[in-house]
Each structure stands twice: as structure tokens, then as C-alpha cells.
A = this chain, B = another copy of it.
Amino acid sequence: MPKPVVSEEKRRRRRLTRSGKVLSEQLIIDTAMRLLREHGSTGLSARRLGLALDCDPSTLYRYFRGMDDLTLAIGDTLIGQALHGWSPTGAWRADLRGLGVRIHAAYVAHPQAAVLTTSRVTGRANELAADEAVLGVLRGAGLPVADAVPVYHAFIDQTLAFAALDAASLALPNAALRAEDEVWRSTYAHLPASSHPHIAAAAPLLATEMVNSAYPSALDLLLDAVAARLKAAAQQGSDGRTRG
């Protein structure tokens, strides 16, 4: 019985669970995300999910190949939420910024789920749509494919990287969170200026700075670089040259 997971649209017989519910991919994903939110990023388990859905854990293997497969599905759902309602306006900079902020926000809004999925490539529908959107904006702005690809790479990796980092600190279980807070208060805030002069001098500022995400500023830096490349390409074009 190792593999025969049937896809959602091929599913024909909708049998009731012992508690009378009807399962579906979407219901399982939603419940999993709720569990993640309630119990932290390590709080999702087949048994707990079975308990929440009032079905046997092994039943889940009729819908997903395993917990890892379910994880990927959750990740694609997050990207889907980010893209929901987005459409390009034609202003490349605003469009790209919007995409970045939306994706980052979607992950950060579900930090426990994000921790599990940020660095996974799923190849599922919503992930593909996001990639297509980013590449489309860049090329629509006038960037040749060869220039668009590295920019796309930096853009998407930076967005996911910050999303992962920011989500990770938001997703820490309460115990670990208090522990890090304690580390901060007991260590960073009281370092003697003799051994760590710079941290000591910056301590009060660090306390307020470190709670925010550095993503927006990093994103704007990247957009500046894109603008510079576009300008250079335009100038090159008006010079009548085709290659640098």
C-alpha cells in the first residue's frame, strides 16, 4: 500500500469518518495549519492531526504520501494566499515590491507553518504562478531574459530567506521564546563595556531595533539595483549598441 495516493479531483467515493466528517485535502491542510498555530512548529504530528480530525492517523496516508508531502502542500497554500487578489498594474517597481511584501507577509502570518516550508521547492501550482509573476514583471519592465534571471533569483531567495528568518523567531515555542528573551536580558543588556564596548553602547537601540524585520529595507535596496540596471540598459539602447 505504499504509494497509491489518489489526487483530489480523481477522488470518487466520499466515505464518512467515524465521527461523521468528510475528509478532503483542503480540510486536512487547514486543520494542520491550525494545529501548527496552536501547538507551535513542532506541534504537527500525524497522531495529533488524526485526533483533531477525529480519524485514524493512517487515514491521512490516503491523501498525502507522508507528513513531508503534507508539508509541501501547506507551503503551496501559503504562496497561494500571498498571491490571492494580486494582479500586475504595469508599474514594475510597485508590482515587484507588492509581490515581495505579500509573500513575506503570508509566511510571517503563519510563522509555524512557514518554518517548515520556506526552504522547500514544491513545483506545485501556486509556487509556479508566483515565479511566473516575478519573471513577468521583470521582463515587462524591459529587462532581457539574461538579466531578469539573476534578479529573479536574488529577489525570490531574499524574500524567502527573510521570511524564514523572521518566521523562525516568531514561531519559537513560548518556552524557547522566554529563554531567548532571558538570554537577551541577562546577557546582551548587561555586557560590560570593558569586554564588549560596541554592544554595550548600542544595547538600548538594539533592544528596539531587533524586534522589527529588516526585509523592507533589504527589498528596497534590491529594487534600487534593478532600477539602475534598467537605466543602464536603456542608455545602452539609446547609444545604438546591442552588447556591452
Residues on A facing B (Cβ under 8 Å): 68, 118-123, 128, 131-132, 135-136, 139, 145-146, 148-150, 152-154, 157-158, 160-162, 164-165, 168-169, 176, 180, 183-184, 186-188, 191, 196-199, 201-202, 205-206, 209-210, 212-214, 217-218, 221-222, 224-225
Contact = CB atoms under 8 A, between A and B. Distances in A.
Contacts of A218: 154, 158, 218, 222
A161 B131 CA distance: 20
Given A145-B202, A221-B221, A214 B165 contact: no
Prevailing SS type, chain A contact patch: helix
26 contacts: A68-B176, A118-B168, A119-B165, A119-B168, A119-B169, A120-B180, A121-B180, A128-B187, A128-B188, A128-B191, A135-B198, A139-B198, A145-B205, A149-B202, A149-B205, A150-B209, A150-B217, A153-B210, A153-B212, A157-B213, A157-B214, A158-B214, A161-B161, A161-B164, A164-B164, A164-B168
A130 to B, nearest CB: 11
Nearest to A133: B198
B135 A217 contact: no
A154 B139 CA distance: 28
Contact of A123 (B152, B161, B188, B206): B188
A145 B197 CA distance: 12
